[in-house]
Chain A
């Protein structure tokens, strides 16, 4: 009953360089709270002061962008994979 969170390079200074961590939380917002408990300071990097997800961050639950789901209230299944990915260019 643990979910895997993939940590992007710019946030690994909070996780001692680890690129994936395990949490146990019902929603994305709860995932962020648990990350904050384990890695103090990390939530401020993810969210604006009003609590909204920062503009240049994408969060995916099992590959689906949470902006298509219920944003921070999106449910996270018991074995879901949560990816935190900076917006990246391309074409």
Chain B
């Protein structure tokens, strides 16, 4: 049974039926799924959720499908890791990592949105799917399309990390590298979507796709024992995830699963692509597009579609936004790895580096209960890292001991 009332323009409120439609024809505002929360509140209880399998579909009343999910049925419920060693390093009391670096099946939070988008694409009867992507979405669309037996057409900027390209090609997708940055790829994708009757998850399926991100927030609240954190730090590319975590918390309060609580939302970008943080720091909601130049390629969207809404969530919640340089991003990747044993991609380094800044600025307090959103896996962005060149040894104990002595001497120095 479906609890969807229809689609509604987020800007002007105009209502639309449930169709593969993303843009308001009156004002070009994005359409959003509208639910019957009163009916959901009567069905969806904490006990009911607890009785269901540990996947994101345990919250299915708050997801926009009419029937049962058919794609990405095993996705979701990634660990919320209590990060005491990292907390000590940062000088805060209570810190958690929501770790989508281990998301099934493609190691990023995009598995959540794609599970919803492709299940919906099947309900609509589409026979091919596609997307424009900075990498993680490409991986997830390709993998989930393969498992669903759907052909996939995937457009990417031609400078992507090799692992992200291989991690798309392997699934048999048609991968098209486009000369230019993501914004150029997205423009082309939009024009293609206007001509071919395919399900482009980030274009005509965007209202459904975006809803999948709410499950990141639902899980945080459930894993904290049906409470929300004081502060959450979220990486921003297009700016959708931060708004959807916010929506997720709001919906849980609306249907009575949590007490209305005030989480401060903090956004993280790379200094080399900071249109949203620049707006927040400038006290405006107007986004000025930029030309991206950063190692955090998954965040390299110069013209963020949801930037306007992201700045709203940040400002209204009493949060803030910061950006981090490439060097700070790399240092933070190492800090997370060496304190918590979690290898995040460059976006995760960005989020942690920004968290450090926000703590130093006093915007996040040492007594806050903090959640950091780690949305992708470091194995996909390895070329960003420059680690020490390793020396091989002969298979002799003496060689090993000489090497260890040398290392100890270096550490002591």
| A interface residues with partner B (beta carbon < 8 Å) | 6, 8-11, 13, 19, 45, 54-58, 60, 63, 65, 67-68, 83, 85-91
A25 to B128, CA, bound (A): 38
Please name all residues of chain B whose beta carbon is closer than 8 Å to the beta carbon of A88 when the two chains form the complex: 22, 132, 186, 189-190, 202-203, 206, 305
**Per a CB cutoff under 8 Å, which of B28, B194, B210, B286 touches A89?**
B210
Q: CA–CA, A54 to B288, complex, Å?
A: 14
Cα(A68)–Cα(B275), bound, Å: 13
In the assembled complex, which residues on chain B have CB atoms less than 8 Å from the CB atom of A89? 30, 202, 206, 209-210, 238, 240, 305-306
What is the distance, in angstroms, from A40's C-beta to the closest C-beta of chain B? 16
**Among B11, B131, B289, B308, contact of A90 (Cβ-Cβ < 8 Å):** B131
Q: Could you tell me if B305 and A90 are in contact, using CB atoms closer than 8 angstroms?
A: yes
Return chain B residues, CB-CB under 8 Å to A56.
11, 23, 27-30, 305, 308
Interchain Cβ contacts under 8 Å between A and B, 20 examples: A8-B194, A10-B25, A10-B28, A13-B25, A45-B25, A56-B27, A56-B29, A86-B23, A86-B28, A87-B303, A87-B305, A88-B203, A88-B305, A89-B202, A90-B131, A90-B182, A90-B186, A90-B301, A90-B305, A91-B137
Contacts of B38 in A (CB 8 A): none
Residues 121-144 of B, flagged 1 when their CB comes within 8 A of A and 0 if not, give: 000000000011110110000000
On whether the beta carbons of A83 and B191 are closer than 8 Å, the reply is yes
Of the candidates A57, A58, A90, the one whose C-beta lies within 8 Å of that of B132 is: A90
In the assembled complex, the Cα of A85 lies from the Cα of B184 at a distance in Å of 11
A86 close to B298 (CB less than 8 A): no
CA–CA, A57 and B30, complex, Å: 11
Q: Is the CB of A91 within 8 A of B110?
A: yes
Give the 5 A-B residue pairs with the shortest CB-CB distance, closest first.
A90-B202, A87-B305, A56-B28, A91-B237, A10-B25
Which listed residue (A13, A19, A68, A87) contacts B195, Cβ 8 A? A19
Summed over the interface, the residue pairs from A and B with CB atoms below 8 Å come to a total of 106
Given A56-B30, A91-B133, A86-B289 contact (CB < 8 Å): no
> Cβ of B210: which chain A residues have Cβ within 8 Å of it?
89
A90 to B110 CA separation, bound complex (whole angstroms): 10
B residues touching A (Cβ–Cβ < 8 Å)? 11, 22-30, 110, 131-134, 136-137, 180, 182-184, 186-187, 189-191, 193-195, 202-203, 206, 209-210, 237-238, 240, 286, 288-289, 291, 298-299, 301, 303, 305-306, 308
Whole-angstrom distance between the Cβ of B338 and the nearest chain A Cβ: 28
Given A63-B184, A67-B288, A91-B137, A86 and B190 contact (CB-CB distance below 8 Å): yes
List the B side residues contacting A86 at CB < 8 Å. Answer: 22-23, 28, 190
Q: Are A91 and B238 in contact (CB under 8 A)?
A: yes
For the complex with contacts A54-B27, A56-B27, 16 further pairs of A-B residues with Cβ separation under 8 Å are A9-B23, A10-B28, A45-B27, A45-B28, A55-B28, A56-B23, A56-B28, A63-B180, A63-B184, A65-B289, A88-B305, A89-B210, A90-B132, A90-B189, A90-B202, A91-B238
Contact A90 B191 (CB under 8 A): no
> How many Å lie between the Cα of A10 and that of B193 in the bound state?
12
Interface contact A67-B289, CB-CB below 8 Å:
yes
CA distance A89 to B200 in the complex (A): 11
Q: Give chain A residues whose Cβ lies under 8 Å from the Cβ of B186.
A: 85, 88, 90
Return chain B residues, CB-CB under 8 Å to A11.
Answer: 25
Q: Which residue in chain A gives the minimum CB-CB distance to B193?
A: A9
Q: Are B183 and A55 in contact (CB under 8 A)?
A: no
* CB <8 Å contact, B289 and A8: no
Q: Determine whether the beta carbon of A8 is less than 8 Å from that of B209.
A: no
Residues in A with CB closer than 8 Å to B27 are 45, 54, 56
- Give every chain A residue within 8 A of B301 (Cβ-Cβ): 90-91
In the complex, the chain A residue whose C-beta lies closest to that of B300 is A91
- Supposing A58-B303, A91-B134 touch, asked if A85 and B191 sit within 8 A by C-beta, the answer is yes
Shortest B96–chain A CB gap in Å is: 23
Assembled-state Cα–Cα distance A63/B186 (Å): 11
Docked Cα-Cα span, A56 to B239, in Å, equals 14
Across the interface, name the chain A residue whose C-beta is closest to B207.
A89
**Residues of chain A lying within 8 A (CB to CB) of residue B136:** 91
B290 to A, closest residue via Cβ? A68
